[in-house]
Structures are given as C-alpha cells and as structure tokens.
Amino acid sequence: MPQYIRPPALRPGDTVAVVSPAGPVTPELLEGGIATLESWGLDIMLHDAVFERREWAGYLAGHDHVRLGSLREALDDPKVRAIVFSRGGYGTMRLLPELGLAALRDDPKLLVGFSDITALHLHLAAQVGITSLHGPVVKSFRLHDDDPHDSLEELRRALFGLRGPRPRFDGLRTVRPGRATGPVFGGNLSLVASLVASPHCPDLNGAILVLEDVGEEDYRLDRLFTTLRLSEKARRPAGIVLGDFTGCAGAYVDDEAMDDFVARLAAEFDCPVVAGLPCGHATRNVPVPIGVGAALDAERGTLIFDGDAVTPGDS
C-alpha cells in the first residue's frame, strides 16, 4: 500500500483549533469538550466563525466561503498542530472542490472527527495522502462520560501518540470469515456512498472499510451498501468492519434486528466482515486511524493496525 504521511503526535502546550465546516453549534454544546481538551494541556483556538449559522440554510455553520476560510486558516496556521472539529451534521463536502491541502505535505497536522467529517478523511486520503483520526468531535465529548470503552481516554492517548506501535480492536463478531490486510478507510456510510464516484474519495478496492451510520432507515441502508457494491471504486474491498448503526430502525426492520440486518447487507460483499467495532454515534466512539494499514482476522475477531494516525510522541 502507499505510505501515507503521518502527522506528529501532540505535546502539552500545542495549539488545537476548533472549526465548524459542517453544521452549526452553540457555545454551551462545546464547553465541556473544550474543558476536557484544555485539561490535557492543550491550548484551544476557537475560530471566530465557529458559531456562525447560514441565514437561509440553518443546517450550515455559515456561508460556504466562511466555513472554507475558517478551515483554510486553521490548516495554514503553523501554530496549529491539530484540528478537532466542533461537530458533524452536513456541509463539509460542499467545501472540497476549493479546499487546497497540498501545504499539509510539508506541515502535516492531525484532523479529528467523524460523521460528516468523513468527507475530509476521504479527501485527505485521495488528494494528499495524510493519515487522520476518525473519532469524537468536540460536541460529542459529553456522550462519552459513562463509556465503558473509555473513548475520551483513547482519544487523549491517540492524540499524544501513546497507544503503542500497533493499536488493536479485539472481540469483534464474525459475520463473514476470512483474513485481509490493507489500508483502513471509511467512516460514515452515507458520506462514503455519496463521495465514492468523486475525485475526493480514494480507491477503496483492496482497503478495509470501517462503516457506521445514524438515522438511516432499513431500505436506505440497503441502497447505500448497494451503491458501494455497484461502484467502480468500492466493489472489491479487502474487508469490512461494522461500527454502530444508531437510530436506523424502519418500517421493516426494528432496533432489535438492526445489527443482523446490517451484517447481512455487508456480507453481500465478497470479503471478510466483522461487526461490533466501538465507533459511531452512540456512547462509544473509540478513535480509528484512517489511512493506516491493518490486518483483519474475522475468525478471531481482531483488527490490528500497523501504527496509529500520528508518529509516536514522548508526552
């Protein structure tokens, strides 16, 4: 697989920017997450436009040029060593055609988020070749207070390069047996399916796909998985790892049957498939390195990475 550039791990005192490239957010929804980041010894820079809202499209955190400008400023600022996005929602993909990222090759920095931020994970991989971290956004920190998987502690360790040389997930449920190796891509299924035919998505054939989603009813999930199976760039993944599919019950499949339903859809691909990865829109969202090679053993229920999203630190 191509060798992706890994940003350096954070150190205490580093500046982390909080930017809103997608949906709007209010100050009280970020207070707890910002306090947590500061308690880790990080200097938090809130962009001036982080709380913007577009007048005629209130689902967006300001006009496209405002969100794009905020993101560019954070990416170009040499003081900023990482960006942890405020929230997901919708709107990031609208910025991709004008988002130049070539400078990141010379000054790589870590991008952290999930849900709509999947668009940036894919774009980084396709256009620049830099690893990133699929993990909590600042707004979602409050969901993980009682998380038995310690998602926030895992995020802290991931940011500072403290998860060891080969992060791993054990106890995954076998859906379709087999073994596979390849780079890990993916995130939110809806975003992957929306971008798979665009130049903003890398070739997913031969990759291990991590997939999760929220609020997509049964038949829509079928459509999204089928879109990937019919696409030129995702019809032959090396393996599939399923995270949480939250609030996806529909007229034909209820909550109790949803895990089995999603597993059956994924098993229609000709590759090993496992379920139960602790990531997604529920109380658990353990950070997953994107663009990093990994080995999937569906019989043993393990996903073992070749490294983390950052170069190891000494924090």
The span from the CA of 47 to the CA of 44, in Å, is 10
**Does residue 154 carry a catalytic annotation?**
no
Enumerate residues 6+ apart whose C-beta is below 8 A from 92.
Answer: 21, 22, 116, 117, 119, 120
**Residue 115 bears catalytic tag:** yes
The catalytic residue among 123, 140, 212, 216 is 212
Among 86, 115, 132, 194, the active-site one is 115
Q: Which residues pair with 82 in a beta bridge?
A: 16, 110
Pairing of strands 239-246, 288-290: unpaired
**Exactly one of 134, 144, 200, 281 is catalytic; which is it?**
281
231 tagged catalytic: no
Q: Which two tokens stand for residue 248?
A: 């996806």
Which residues are marked as active site? 115, 212, 281
